[in-house]
Amino acid sequence: MKLSSIVSALLLSQGPFVQAIDKKDLEGTWSSKSNQVFTGPGFYDPVDELIIEPSLPGISYSFTEDGHWEMATYLVSANPQDPSCPSAAITFQHGSYDLLDNGTLILNPIHVDGRQLVSDPCNDHGTSTYNRYNQTITFHHFYIRLDDYHGMYKLQLFQFDESPLQPLYLAYRPPMMLPTETLNPTESASSGSAQSTGKSKRSLRDTIRRNLENKHRTNAVKSKPKGILNSDLVWYLSVGMIGVGSMIFLSS
């Protein structure tokens, strides 16, 4: 085989993207197309340990530049035997992540903080199951690029078997997240920076409660489309054209 053929085969095997291995590029809150599921206090209340159900299914991941992550997912699965009996799972996790040199992204959860609410209405007699949940998540690789169609930055994650996750779009930067330390420490909890004493737990709960009370004062900024013809630009151009047309009409 010629050298040129080998080079071409290698380039094609890489696919039409460039892997992002910069934590700064990964920073932000990313959400799926439904645009209804976001990480942060609007999804999980750690004070009362309650999951807040979004209006539509979807997934969201947030990342900080210093190595923390948070996940909010609302997944609905169809029941082939009985279409009127879909099951649903709502999951919250957070922790720290490792970004390897080969582009692999490993999400390590704080084990005591993860929560999952599972609903299977045709089998659970109307009573959903709410449990602690933790699962290490490995993404084989990922890329970030500007989506020309949506005019927004897109994060494409590939699962451990290299199958693509549904695309995520940048919603907030800096990310909208809960505190990155252990939120609900137990006596045996060893992860996170919070201690298991009653005093420190109360202090942490007070801090989280203040975060929840001030959730609308977040420094997270809503991401806007990057395309040339975004709604703001179209509005200003329209107003300008109307003004110019009015002046021409009045002067004629």
CB under 8 Å to 35, separation ≥6 — which residues? Answer: 58, 169, 171
| Mean pLDDT within 45-55 | 93
Domain that includes residue 84, residue range = 17-221
pLDDT beyond 70 at 153: yes
Q: How confident is the model at residue 233 (pLDDT cuts 50, 70, 90)?
A: low
Pick the range with the lowest mean pLDDT from 52-56, 101-105, 120-124, 132-136. 120-124
Q: How confident is the model at residue 236 (pLDDT cuts 50, 70, 90)?
A: low
pLDDT beyond 80 at 144: yes
| Mean pLDDT within 58-65 | 98
pLDDT at residue 238, rounded to an integer = 56
Percent of residues in the chain assigned helix, strand, coil, to nearest 5: 20, 30, 45
Domain-embedded: residue 135:
yes
Domain-embedded: residue 4:
no
Domain-embedded: residue 242:
no
pLDDT beyond 70 at 249: no
Domain-embedded: residue 28:
yes
Q: Please give the Cα distance from 86 to 55 (Å, whole number).
A: 16
Extract the tokens encoding 103.
């582009």
| Mean pLDDT within 150-179 | 96
| Mean pLDDT within 81-88 | 84
Domain-embedded: residue 217:
yes
Strand partners, 98: 106
pLDDT beyond 80 at 12: no
CB under 8 Å to 31, separation ≥6 — which residues? Answer: 37, 38, 58, 59, 60, 168, 169, 171
Q: Give me the percent of the chain exceeding a pLDDT of 70.
A: 65
Which secondary structure element, helix H or strand E, spans residue 7, and what is its range? helix 3-13
Q: 60: how many CB neighbours lie within 10 A of its CB?
A: 27
Q: Give me the percent of the chain exceeding a pLDDT of 90.
A: 54
Residue 158 · residue 166 · CB < 8 Å: no
Helices (H), 23-85: 23-26
Higher pLDDT, 245 or 176: 176
Domain-embedded: residue 200:
yes
pLDDT at residue 196, rounded to an integer = 38
pLDDT at residue 247, rounded to an integer = 63
The DSSP call for residue 216 is: G
Residue 88 · residue 68 · CB < 8 Å: no
Higher pLDDT, 59 or 21: 59
Distances (CA, A) of 33 to 36, 63, 164, 181: 8, 18, 15, 29
* Closest listed residue to residue 67, CA positions, set 113, 105, 115: 105
pLDDT at residue 17, rounded to an integer = 46
pLDDT at residue 37, rounded to an integer = 97
pLDDT per position as a tens digit, 100-109: 999 999 999 9
Q: Are strands 115-119 and 87-99 parallel, antiparallel or unpaired?
A: antiparallel
Domain-embedded: residue 230:
no
pLDDT at residue 206, rounded to an integer = 58
| Mean pLDDT within 107-112 | 97
pLDDT per position as a tens digit, 218-227: 455 666 665 5
Higher pLDDT, 23 or 202: 23
Domains identified in the chain, total number: 1
- Which residue type is seen at 1? M
